[in-house]
Structure 1
């Protein structure tokens, strides 16, 4: 059994949106009262930068965590290299992950009384140095995993501490509302992860909501890329504009909602709408974001009024219901992005049919939300046998797409598209992707 096969049973949640992957990767290519009291005395983590390397480490009592090193392989979890109480290793990614998880766990414990991602003190497992030049980070249902970036467009994914908080928040979401990762519930999944990521960043910098910059993934792009960050919660669609990676395509109002089959129904594109709503709510509520609007969003998440298929309107209603004296302010924040809070189980998953000309291979999803699409003419490409092996099997039923996971869609004329999460790619499908993307690049 190959390492790919051995890991196939473990679903993943990834960080890069598909439209960035299209331009960047090319063909090679996330508590109990006693615990809260115990950690109150550890408050005041000093930080003078928003990157994990600028965060001062302090001992955290619980829950437990382990950082592993994959050694540039894709075998998980890798070798254990650092645990609580261990000194810094000198490996920047390992130490950033250690400091970042301590800070994240502390915030959830102290401000939200949540003990680890499952609320019951589960040990947190992290892996760094995943893959070679891997431009992503993800939560796979068991593991927080971080690539080193390609060194050309992206830095290592442990560098901005909010990336780690984002992936950890996906784990929290899975253990609470368990939002489906498609369409509007998927965009909510992405947005709530950004909410807690921004809350952590502001907490480390000692900022209140009005002082925060509301940038997600600041420092993730290399200095040569014209970008402030990966996303801007205060101004969706303005985080970057670069000749190579393109312009930030996020939207911030329902008037601009994107209907698409890529990126799991536009989860990274449309998450800008609830992101902007949270930013507005946090300013209106005031104070530290995690103690104000962040607490409201968390109470909504765990309060039982957010079903897995929640629409924006359903989630908005849950936040208004959890807002108490701030209900009007929260309702107004949602109204400013075109969402009318509405209770009910209505689900918005997105719809549509991918084009069916020639052979089309699309990679979407990931933390940066970039898509990579390639098409070849089957009559000229000589890929028939490989296509038959890779695309003929029916789509598995019950396969769960995790947040920030790369998803591959194979479309052959006359057949239904076959959509496969990255971790479930067969060897034949992986070879097909490599060959199609190579030929497209050389064309």
Structure 2
């Protein structure tokens, strides 16, 4: 038994059966090791959503959920095996190739559907996957000067119509796999740009911080994918932070229900609320942090739950800065991702974003002040910043303007500037301690 803020109760028989499968070591996989834990199979649909589908009164929906969970377990085992072998990703200057699995699960048997220089085809799933891979690649290249997901021109392969009515989209470390959905609770998974960008960003994280996929590092891993998935969509639509909806998966989940999504970065915990799935369980601050066991059944310590906390911090940062979120907030988060370590906790990453904001925009800048205010609001303190600074932040950043507000901002800027040298020294000391482990 574990302590959790998540919904409680005995799971039904089908759910317990799947949990048993998922919690057993794969017959193909090696014993758990840092590499296999750090690089799992990544998928967009949280396990708590699929669990609820197992309770559906619709037999076909239940079967699709069971099949999706079994496919996920198999892919996880296959990736664990690959992780035990050294090998470089295939270079290809970010070239896209889309294959059609024709509802099969064997990638070698998939049919070439559209290469990089190929024309648009009749199948909209193929074209959507092709376009979304290109938009994500171009975003990273044009906005963040990154050459594909690995920074070295990794080719982008996508497999559509993967399996029969599979309710998920996957990044398996080498390529993207798209299920068609069951047609009732999920539409075709190529129908959401931010979903595809989310999955490809797991590849970026694999090749930068390598956030371990459990507990707080795992929640940061998931949050990075939501952040840049949303930014790719905003960039493609040329939306400001104020204009964006900050929703993940609204275009592919519950097609018959309007106004809901898998997650809301703007308002974690309020992405959905309906009889089938209950209420969105994501927390938006540390006092609501959900404690789950570090197992497959426990979502590896609640990575899909607690990602709501850093998600909200990013939204607040972008909203306070204003304008296009990818220009300032996105750059701060990307440079912080590159500077982070695999075991970093929320507080570590908060401190890194605070430092990067100073390096990029200046100590005491509005951008750095926005970063500090955001993390304070989700109750993640920045190490070395005394509570007095937080009080000044509250009175200034949330005020109604006027001379008092300006005085507060000026005081905040002075205090932040005085702290930066101390924080830089602290960061060096922490880096030295990590190196000594």
TM-score class normalised by the smaller sequence: 0.5 to 0.7
- Judge conservation of contact 1:165–1:193 (CA < 8 Å) in 2: yes
- Say whether residues 1:296 and 2:332 are aligned partners: yes
1 CA distance for matches of 2:250 and 2:323? 22
The counterpart of 1:269, out of the listed 287, 305, 309, is 305
2 CA distance for matches of 1:6 and 1:17? 24
Q: Give the secondary-structure state (helix, strand or coil) at the position aligned to 1:130.
A: coil
Q: Give the secondary-structure state (helix, strand or coil) at the position aligned to 2:191.
A: coil
Specify the alignment match of 1:365 in structure 2.
none
- Say whether residues 1:139 and 2:168 are aligned partners: no
Q: Give the secondary-structure state (helix, strand or coil) at the position aligned to 1:331.
A: helix
Specify the alignment match of 1:123 in structure 2.
155
Q: Give the secondary-structure state (helix, strand or coil) at the position aligned to 1:67.
A: strand
Tell me the alpha carbon deviations over residues 49-101 of structure 1, each in whole angstroms, 9 at most, x when there is no partner.
xxxxxxxxxxxx95211111112122125222111221111112111100101
2 CA distance for matches of 1:183 and 1:6? 25
* Residues 35-50 of structure 1: pairs in structure 2 closer than 5 A: none
Tell me the alpha carbon deviations over residues 335-366 of structure 1, each in whole angstroms, 9 at most, x when there is no partner.
100101239xxxxxxxxxxxxxxxxxxxxxxx
Shift of 1:201: 1.1
Q: Give the secondary-structure state (helix, strand or coil) at the position aligned to 1:19.
A: helix
The counterpart of 1:201, out of the listed 207, 223, 233, is 233
Return 236-245 or 164-173, whichever deviates more. Answer: 236-245
Specify the alignment match of 2:291 in structure 1.
259
Task: Report the CA distance shift for 1:75/1:7 in structure 2 as closer, same or farther (over 3 A).
Answer: farther
Shift of 1:152: 1.0
- Judge conservation of contact 1:316–1:334 (CA < 8 Å) in 2: yes
Specify the alignment match of 1:100 in structure 2.
132
Tell me the alpha carbon deviations over residues 85-141 of structure 1, each in whole angstroms, 9 at most, x when there is no partner.
211111121111001011111110000000000101111111111111111111111
The counterpart of 2:354, out of the listed 290, 305, 320, is 320
Specify the alignment match of 1:110 in structure 2.
142
- Say whether residues 1:67 and 2:98 are aligned partners: yes
Task: Report the CA distance shift for 1:11/1:333 in structure 2 as closer, same or farther (over 3 A).
Answer: closer
- Give TM-score, length-normalised by structure 2: 0.67
Shift of 1:5: 8.8
- Judge conservation of contact 2:93–2:152 (CA < 8 Å) in 1: no
Shift of 1:211: 1.4
Superposition CA RMSD, Å: 2.1
Tell me the alpha carbon deviations over residues 246-305 of structure 1, each in whole angstroms, 9 at most, x when there is no partner.
2211111101000012111100110000000000001122221111101100001112xx
- Say whether residues 1:286 and 2:322 are aligned partners: yes
Shift of 1:331: 1.2
Shift of 1:226: 5.6
- Say whether residues 1:24 and 2:53 are aligned partners: yes
Specify the alignment match of 2:396 in structure 1.
none
- Judge conservation of contact 1:221–1:227 (CA < 8 Å) in 2: no
Specify the alignment match of 1:354 in structure 2.
none
1 CA distance for matches of 2:382 and 2:123? 47
- Judge conservation of contact 2:186–2:255 (CA < 8 Å) in 1: no
1 CA distance for matches of 2:164 and 2:27? 19
* Residues 168-183 of structure 1: pairs in structure 2 closer than 5 A: 168-183=200-215
The counterpart of 1:150, out of the listed 178, 182, 204, is 182
2 CA distance for matches of 1:331 and 1:199? 21
Give the gaps of 5 or more residues in structure 2: 1-25, 31-35, 55-61, 68-91, 359-364, 385-437
- Judge conservation of contact 1:227–1:242 (CA < 8 Å) in 2: no
Task: Report the CA distance shift for 1:254/1:6 in structure 2 as closer, same or farther (over 3 A).
Answer: closer
Give the gaps of 5 or more residues in structure 1: 30-60, 344-443
- Judge conservation of contact 1:76–1:127 (CA < 8 Å) in 2: yes
Shift of 1:11: 5.3
Specify the alignment match of 2:272 in structure 1.
240
1 CA distance for matches of 2:188 and 2:136? 18
- Say whether residues 1:76 and 2:100 are aligned partners: no
- Judge conservation of contact 2:184–2:255 (CA < 8 Å) in 1: no
Specify the alignment match of 1:335 in structure 2.
376
Specify the alignment match of 1:210 in structure 2.
242
Shift of 1:190: 0.5
Task: Report the CA distance shift for 1:299/1:334 in structure 2 as closer, same or farther (over 3 A).
Answer: same
2 CA distance for matches of 1:122 and 1:342? 37
Specify the alignment match of 1:186 in structure 2.
218
